[in-house]
Amino acid sequence: MSNVSIATSNMPYYSERTKYRKIFNNTYWGNFKDDNNDLKQEVIDNRNAFVEEFEVCSRYNMPNYMWDRHVQRVTKEHNLIDHVEIYKTKNKKCVIVNSPYHVGPENETRLIEMGYMKYNKMYGGDSTTFVFVCDIGIRLYAKTK
């Protein structure tokens, strides 16, 4: 008998591999199916730890005018925003997760100067994850030089 393949519809979504499916299920990352069982355990562990460390309670739909200004500041001269997820914490903070690809030392320094902190990998490939923490309801102006 030949090898039996499992239908991809039976494969779990990335969000289902975490302890916090409800938080990650509507994210771009969370809606991928783990077809080839290639999701790294490190990313799952880091996402679980992220929720616990920042006391994340839900995704946050930031008003466009606030987000647009933040993105314009961060990307005006540099393409440093990719795979963005925004979360609300129990203590009413907003945490922006940004996982751009191909971040060299110079761009890493720029993101840190803009107020981001380098964080544990929460996305695949050669992406690097950064987080930006702020109060909910403020207009976001990333620090720039």
> In the chain, which stretches have pLDDT less than 50?
1-7, 141-145
The answer to whether the beta carbons of residues 127 and 100 sit under 8 Å apart is: yes
* Residue 38, burial from CB neighbour count under 10 angstroms (0-12, 13-18, 19+): exposed
pLDDT score, position 131: 95
Q: How many other CB atoms are there within 10 angstroms of residue 60's CB atom? A: 16
* % the chain with pLDDT above 70: 73
Give domain limits for the chain.
Answer: 12-135
pLDDT score, position 70: 65
> Which amino acid is residue 10, in one-letter code?
N
The answer to whether the beta carbons of residues 120 and 51 sit under 8 Å apart is: no
pTM: 0.81
